[in-house]
Structure formats: C-alpha cells, structure tokens
Amino acid sequence: MPCRFGGARPYFVCPGIINGIVCRRWVTKLYGAGRYFLCRHCYQLAYPSQREDRYDRALRRADKIRARLGEEPGTASVFPARPKGMHRRTYERLQSAVLDAEILADERLAILLARLQRLDRRTERRSAGRSRKEFWR
C-alpha cells in the first residue's frame, strides 16, 4: 500500500472467520496465538495497558517520567537531578506528577497488605482450635 509522502507499507489480509463472517482486515501484524496466524481482533487479544487499573497506570506514568529524566524506572531509585536546559517549573511539575503517582501506588499497597492481614487472621482463627493430628484427618 503506498504511503502519503512516498514509500510503501506492507499489510497482511487476515484470513480469520468469526461466526461465519470472513475478517479480511488489513493489518501490519498477525498473531500465532492459536492454530492459525490471525489478527488480534480475531483472537480477541488485548493490549497490556487495557488490563491495567488506575494504580498500574500511575506507576507506568511515573516510570515514563523517570526515564524521560534519564533515571532508572521504579520507586526504589532516587529521583534524578534536574537536567541541564530544563526549565525549573517543568522539572517541578514532573517531580510532583511522580510523587502523586507513587502516593497512589502506596495506597494500593496498603489496601493489599490489609487484605493479606485479614486473610492471615482468618486462617489463624480457623486453625487455632485444632491440634496438628486433627488437621490431617
């Protein structure tokens, strides 16, 4: 297929059949998730970002900002110094965005830890009255 500003781009025509209807989409990638090579629509594949909740999106956003500033992604790494040539206001805005995202991620961690503690207390209560031999009967 020719491109607008010259050159050409190759496409595949999806050979998939769903509910008796031939797909025939023009796609750049075919996936081998099953027996045949089909487009992501025929296999009903989702992008990883479509399965993220708001906490995962916040962490991904913070990691992208850290990478933009030349630092390793992750909350354990130190926030990088302001790069030469970057406006102070821009740096402060990015720093604030990372802090907000990490606060949101910490909220999720607190929720998960509370859930685990409740589960642990429940299992302790259930097994508190039993002796070891009764457990295996």
* 46-89 pLDDT, tens digit each: 888 888 888 899 999 999 999 988 888 888 878 888 989 999 99
For residues 70 and 64, what is the distance between their CA atoms, to the nearest angstrom? 10
Position 128 pLDDT exceeds 80:
no
Position 14 pLDDT exceeds 70:
yes
Q: Single out the residue in 45, 62, 78 at which a domain terminates.
A: 45
**79 and 104 belong to one structural domain:** yes
**40 and 69 belong to one structural domain:** no
User: Which domain does 71 fall in, by range?
Assistant: 48-128
For residues 90 and 69, what is the distance between their CA atoms, to the nearest angstrom? 11
The total number of structural domains that make up the chain: 2
Give me the mean pLDDT over the 8-35 stretch: 92
pLDDT score recorded for residue 24: 94
**66 and 121 belong to one structural domain:** yes
**27 and 93 belong to one structural domain:** no
60, part of any domain: yes
For residues 18 and 41, what is the distance between their CA atoms, to the nearest angstrom? 10
134, part of any domain: no
